[in-house]
Structures are given as structure tokens and as C-alpha cells.
Chains A and B, each alone.
Chain A
């Protein structure tokens, strides 16, 4: 017990939030006291009580249950979007940095163009193309600009890796370019990419919440942003809905930011 307590004391606050978030994302739907879509019109917008720990919202849904289900959606969207973005970004960035010239110009050019839109405007523009935006569309929309950050990072790191002896040696030995990239370049990019991806998870979760808040989230799924949207529309009479749902978003984003900073301090030798 005391060892556990010791371990807990040494775990930074941000990491604890992140771990709690993922644990709740996995087990949330099982421990949720109610079905988050269950309609109970007799108990609409009730303040927190012992039957509904965080109160009820629109149509009498249990807010705690909705938040637990929402954690799962946020976790899925975050992991999938960041996963896709990291893979695409790393490959394109490594190509751009390694091959240079035209490849670099094309990839950097596309990245510049994507960044010439404010992120959210580009997301909405992509979602505007489908009749009924669902989870897949949301993920695609977020990945459309998600990869740029990782591509820039991978490109910058590859530029310096390309000149290092072990890469030159691999090239001199006649190892095919693909293998040089896969075996010698990309593994060395992972450290900085992991740090970036941690902060990136928070960014994506916030973006998902923001799009859901604007009414562009996946239709049926329970999301924090949609709950906050409902809460904002009844803010003056029933503030608890907006307080709890917005609090969940803010706390999670804070957790990923702090964890990203913490990882950077620990893993990036240049900062020591």
C-alpha cells in the first residue's frame, strides 16, 4: 500500500488525469448508472442529487452517464485521428526531408495550403460535403489538417538525420531507400513525435468537442461538446449541465497539455 502511495505521489497531476480519462473511456459505459439516451421527462434538468450525482440534462438524461459515454467517444476520436495523422505525417515528412527538391516542395506546399485555413474552418468545410456527418466523417475532417504538424516535425528531424554517418553508411552499403527510411530514419523520429502526439491528443479532443458543440458532431453518439451545447442553451436556468460537461473537456485538455510538457522535459535531452 505504501509503495502504491509513493508511486502515486510521484505521478504528475497531468498524467493522472490522462490515465483516469483512458480508464473511464474503456470502462465508462459499464459503470455508468443509466443509459445516457434514456428519456425521463419528469426529471428534466434536475440539480445534482443522490439518484443523479451530476444532475440531469435535456430530456432528463443522466449527466454522469452521458459524460462517461462521451469519454469513450473522445478517446476513440483522439486515438484514431492522432494515429492516422502521425502515420501520414511521418511518412510524408520523412519523404520531404529525405528526398528534398520537388518532393519537398510539393509536400511542404500542400502543408502550407492546409495551414492557410484556420483549422476549424477547414474541418467544417470538409463536413459540409456530406449529407449526415457521422463518426467517420468527423475523423476524416480532423485528420485533414491533423497530419501537418507531424509532417513538419518529421521533415525537420529527417533533414538533420539524413546527414548523419549511420544513414550515409546505410546508403553507401547500397541498402534500398525504402529500407533506409524504415530502419534508420523513421525509428529515430519517434521520440519527438510521441511528445507531439501527447499534446496532439488534447488538441484533437478539444477540436472534437468544439465541432460537436457547433452541432457538427456524429449524430447519435453522446459527446461532451454536444452536451455543453445543450447546457449553454439553458445556461441561465440550469447552469450545472454546462459546468460539468465543459469542466470535463477543460480538465482532459489540461491533462494532455501537462503530460506533453512533462514528457518533453523528461525525454528531450536538449532541454536538460
Chain B
């Protein structure tokens, strides 16, 4: 995962996952971080924290991923996790229309409360459960966190979600954490969508003294062990 070739500009991006319970948030992260799909052994209390790097042609993005608990009552904790987030993945289950409603609530919440300029991606998960699944794996069982309650087919049309996403200018994807379809694409698209400017001014006052971070890697390293540690930190 880590870039072994010439040092590229690297920066970390705080990303938060939000969405109704059992839409497959944790599965998406697990697929992205470990390229794995299994039952989530560790229950998520509050939120789980994971990191993963994403190599772009011009730079490296290190995602600090906050995977939040989906249970409704944990919603009031969410501001703690989406605070300062530069990107958000709002996930719904495309076999469950109510989850899109909830996703819309989250989008509205983020647009109003999160840091301005946050990149939001709307993700319809569990594409494998639908007939038009390009990845073409129709079996619904053994689906772990995401497959328990959804039965058969798509209940949210691509058009509906897409038009909503366009309205709100969100990135939009339909994925399957189970097959891995489109998962990395989501994160890559987010990485690309993060404006250069917001990378320069990384979050936190501690980093505020870092000037022109994206431009000159060497200087960043001189700035402190913190940045170096980040570079070296494998996922």
C-alpha cells in the first residue's frame, strides 16, 4: 500500500462514515482497508478508527476513517466524529428505501453543521443483492453486517438517488462491499475531489503552521516528526 517510489506529496484526510444501521458502513471500510469481507467481530461503540492510504498519480492521501455506530441513539454523538471531517461517506442500503431517507438527513446535517467544503459521497451499498448487479453475485446469505434484513432486490432506483445526489452536488456511487465492486472507486473519487487548498490547510491548529504542504514534501518533513510519522505509518 505505502508508496515505495519517489516521495509524493502526502496529506491526511479525515473521513467519516454515516448512515442507518446495517447498511454496510463497516463492511465498506473493511473492504477498503483490508480488502476483506467478514462479520465484524468487534462491536462498534461510538466509532471505530481506521486508516488507509490512497495513491493518486500526483499525491498520496491518507484517509483517517471514522466508522460510526449506526444505531439511532448514537446519532447525537456523530458531531463529535464529523467535526473537522473533510470528507463524508453517507451510506444507504439500496434495498431499503428508509435508509435513503436517513441518508438524506445526514447529508442535510453535514451541509449545515460540518466544516464548509466537506466532500460528501452518497453511496448505495449492497449492489450484489440486486438483479442488475454488474458484479453478478446474487446470493444473499452470509452477508455479515449488511445482508441480514434485506431480502431480494433493489428498492431504490439509481435514477432517484442519482438525481438527488446531483441536486445536492454529491458524489454518487453504487457499491457492493461484499464483492468489492466500486468500493475503491469511491475513496479514489473522494481523494480526487478534495480540493488542493483544503489539503494545504490540514485540520487542527497544530498543523496550521505547516506552509505549502502539498507543494514541497521535504520541507514538510523538516517541520516536525509528526508529519514524518504519518508518512511512515502503514495502514
- Chains A and B form a bound pair: no
